[in-house]
Amino acid sequence: MNPLARFVSRVGAAGISAAANGTVFLRHVYRMAALLVSIVSRFPLMVKNVPLSIEQMYGIGIDSLPLVSVIAVFTGATTVTQAVYQFSGFIPLKYLGLAVCKTLITEIGPVFTSMVVAGRIATAIAAEVGAMKTGEQLDAMTCLNLDPVRYLYVPKMIACMVMMPLLVVWSELIAFISSILTVVFSVKITLFVYFTGLRMLFNPWDLIIGVLKTSVFGAIIALTGCHFGLETRHGAEGVGEATTKAVMTSFVLILIFDFIIAFFVF
């Protein structure tokens, strides 16, 4: 094959591959949108199945507390340590509280907690739904006239949307305590100075948006978990693939929506 023909062949193959990947991407977008619509349209029916949501809230929220707490402890401590290091020689430490406060409540707290929870919950949802699909449990639900969207996906989404803000509040509380302890034991400023910094330029709106946006992140976690669970093929191997895709996609979507929210709200 001459070099020109080889070049054309490679470009053509790359084009076909890109088109195929684009088609797959658009199919995922379409199916996730359709799933989101079908889930949201069944929200009103949830009043009849509150126990299902509470059960999910327990699994998603309460069971995530230990992990979120440990992560929050180190998030708070690391934020203080890093801030002190970055400030040294340039910025007075009386602004340490301000930096920690803004960082934790606007970005690190909500996004970091959401990603940690996504790693735990999106994979769990994808694995559960995938196993139910390959095990014909979803078909069994349909045969019993039990709509899987209503009885399976809606409770998970509601639980994620409700529990994520609560987890973030808890996480930020732990992170602040951790930051205070770090200040006490390793930074040469008084607690009075640190608290003054915390209160400085504190805007409740930052906290409210920071907490409420995690509800959107919760919806993303549930949606990606359910979607990739439903896309599962080929048994156990397929379930593994679904969980990986779910967690990767939820990470990316969380960051994208974090940017969108920041762009429009702040």
Contact pick of 32, 93, 104, 132 for another protein (by CB under 8 A): 132
Q: Which is nearer to another protein, 151 or 202 (CB)?
A: 151
Question: Cβ(232)–Cβ(242) under 8 Å?
Answer: yes
Q: Which is nearer to another protein, 177 or 236 (CB)?
A: 236
Question: Cβ(232)–Cβ(135) under 8 Å?
Answer: no
Both structure tokens of 131: 């196993």
Q: Which is nearer to another protein, 14 or 45 (CB)?
A: 45
Virtual torsion, Cα 20, 23, 24, 30, nearest 10 deg? 180
Contact pick of 10, 16, 27, 136 for another protein (by CB under 8 A): 136
Q: Determine which helix (DSSP H) or strand (DSSP E) holds 261, and give its type and residue range.
A: helix 235-265
Q: Determine which helix (DSSP H) or strand (DSSP E) holds 205, and give its type and residue range.
A: helix 204-230
CB of 211 to another protein, least distance (A): 30
CB of 41 to another protein, least distance (A): 13
Binding residues for another protein restricted to 89-128, rule: CB under 8 A: 128
Q: Which is nearer to another protein, 15 or 135 (CB)?
A: 135
- Amino acid 78 reads T
Cβ neighbours of residue 209 closer than 8 Å, sequence gap 6 or more: 106, 261, 265, 266
Query: What binding mask, one character per residue, do residues 139-178 give for another protein by CB under 8 A, x or -?
Result: xxxxxxxx----x---------------------------
If one asks whether residue 41 binds another protein (CB under 8 A), the answer comes out as no
CB of 205 to another protein, least distance (A): 40
Question: Cβ(233)–Cβ(131) under 8 Å?
Answer: no
The number of angstroms, rounded, from the C-alpha of 265 to the middle of its chain's C-alpha atoms is 19
* Lookup result for tokens 């920041």: 262
Q: Which is nearer to another protein, 116 or 132 (CB)?
A: 132
If one asks whether residue 38 binds another protein (CB under 8 A), the answer comes out as no
Query: Can you give the binding site for another protein, defined by CB under 8 A?
Result: 128, 131-132, 135-137, 139-146, 151
